[in-house]
């Protein structure tokens, strides 16, 4: 078995070591320009030159859960199956991140952080939990993990997905506007597709409850940045916690950096854990080699 690795950040040495340990008989190497022949490519955010050289691979494995950075190549993609990571420790991390952010707003730590910087000692009225509806856009592997983590806290929960869902204790919507009306905390966990690109524009964000907050842990291009900032500055929204951006990192003069009601993290809400990812991918390679089917195949027509 011949495995080719590529990451846009160049950090492949731990992947090489983990694959050599998991599949001792495999030949494992990191891609250098001009190289190509392999059975399996394990990649993240590849350049066009690499994609063009993968026409004969048996399968492409992604080092993450999102598929936008590969599906953007459209007709230039090889016919081989594309297989994303399935959870691999990301569900728990996403649940931790989003739960932290929801509780921070609900218990007013954002207000207390601002007060403390001004030396102010001032207890504030508690928010009413029934006014703190959490709406999760995307009820896939990560959205469901977030819903389950929030469940014990007793927030009203709602969700929105492409196909209808029934989840105990969760109001599942197919009408997006109805979902947004009354949502106080909006969590975005959608894949980035032509349908979801710039989904959260001014009109839709305005439907959120007054004092609402946005937690975006999916992709920056889901949100109209100008609209989000305008609604925060106008006082309709209380703030945002953003882990993902249209350009990463955002430019030094991006207005998000200077907006105190925007909390920025550097795309860390659910990191790829290399040992877990390699265990999962190696097992899938072995299953494919035995002629079996594997989970987490990307559906190119749906775009995720």
Is 217 a binder of ligand NDP (CB under 6 A)?
yes
Q: 45-64: which residues touch ligand OXD (CB under 6 A)? A: 64
CA-to-CA distance for 28 and 57, rounded, in angstroms? 14
Smallest distance from the beta carbon of 243 to ligand NDP, in angstroms? 5
Q: Which of 133, 219, 221, 280 binds ligand NDP (CB under 6 A)?
A: 219
Closest CA to 63 of 7, 11, 18: 7
31-39, 124-132, 215-223, 232-240 -> range binding ligand NDP (CB under 6 A): 215-223
Please spell the DSSP secondary structure of the chain, one letter per residue: -EEEEEETT---HHHHHHHHHH-TTSEEEE--TT----SEEEEES--HHHHHTTTT-SEEEESSS--HHHHTTGGGS-SS-EE----TTHHHHHHHHHHHHHHHHHTTHHHHHHHHHTT-----PPPPGGG--EEEE--SHHHHHHHHHHGGGT--EEEE-SS---BTTEEEES-HHHHHTT-SEEEE-----TTTTT-B-HHHHTTSPTTEEEEE-S-GGGB-HHHHHHHHHTTSEEEEEES--SSSSPPTT-HHHH-TTEEE--S-SS---HHHHHHHHHHHHHHHHTT---S-B--TTTT-
Q: Which of the following is catalytic: 127, 151, 236, 267?
A: 267
Q: Is 182 in the site for ligand NDP (CB under 6 A)?
A: no
- Residue 181 CB, nearest distance to ligand OXD (Å)? 29
Which one, 38 or 63, has the nearer CB to ligand OXD?
63
Q: Which of 7, 184, 219, 222 is catalytic?
A: 219
Least distance between ligand OXD and beta carbon 19 (Å): 18
Tell me if residue 202 is catalytic. no
Nearer to ligand NDP (CB atom), residue 94 or residue 231: 94
Q: Could you give the string, one character per residue 257-286, with x where binding to ligand OXD holds by CB under 6 A and - elsewhere?
A: ---------------x--------------
Rule CB under 6 A: say whether 91 interacts with ligand OXD: no
219 is catalytic: yes
Backbone angles phi, psi at 104, to 5 degrees: -60, -45
For residues 113 to 152, the per-residue mask of contacts with ligand NDP, x marking binding by CB under 6 A and - elsewhere, is -------------------------xxxxxx---------
* Minimum distance of ligand OXD from residue 218's CB (angstroms): 8
Catalytic site positions: 219, 267
Interface positions with ligand NDP (CB under 6 A): 64-66, 90, 138-143, 160-163, 189-193, 195-196, 217-219, 243-244, 267, 269-270, 304
Interface positions with ligand OXD (CB under 6 A): 64-66, 272
């Amino acid at each position: 078995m011949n495995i080719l690795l590529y990451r846009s950040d160049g950090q492949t040495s731990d992947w090489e070591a983990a694959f050599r340990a998991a599949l001792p008989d495999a030949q494992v190497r990191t891609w250098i320009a001009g190289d190509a022949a392999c059975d399996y490519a394990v990649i993240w955010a590849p350049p066009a030159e690499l994609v063009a050289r993968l026409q004969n691979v048996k399968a492409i494995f992604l080092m993450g859960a999102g598929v936008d950075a590969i599906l953007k190549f459209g007709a230039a993609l090889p016919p081989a199956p594309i297989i994303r990571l399935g959870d691999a420790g990301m569900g728990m991390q996403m649940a931790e991140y989003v739960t932290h952010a929801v509780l921070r707003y609900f218990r007013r730590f954002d207000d207390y952080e601002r007060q403390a910087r001004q030396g102010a000692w001032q207890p504030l009225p508690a928010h009413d939990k029934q006014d703190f509806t959490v709406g999760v856009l995307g009820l896939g592997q990560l959205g469901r993990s977030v819903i389950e983590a929030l469940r014990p806290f007793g927030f009203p929960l709602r969700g929105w997905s492409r196909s209808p869902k029934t989840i105990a204790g969760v109001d599942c919507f197919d009408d997006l506007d109805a979902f947004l009306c009354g949502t106080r905390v909006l969590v975005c966990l959608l894949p980035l597709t032509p349908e979801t690109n710039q989904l959260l524009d001014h009109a839709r964000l305005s439907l959120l409850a007054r004092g609402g907050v946005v937690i975006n842990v999916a992709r920056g291009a889901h949100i109209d940045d100008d609209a989000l900032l305008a609604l925060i500055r106008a006082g309709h929204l209380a703030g945002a916690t953003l882990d993902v951006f249209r350009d990463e990192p955002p430019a030094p003069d991006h207005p998000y950096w200077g907006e105190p009601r925007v909390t920025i993290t550097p795309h860390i809400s659910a990191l790829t854990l290399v040992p877990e990812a390699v265990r999962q991918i190696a097992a899938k390679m072995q299953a494919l080699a035995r002629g079996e089917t594997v989970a987490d195949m990307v559906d190119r027509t749906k775009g995720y």
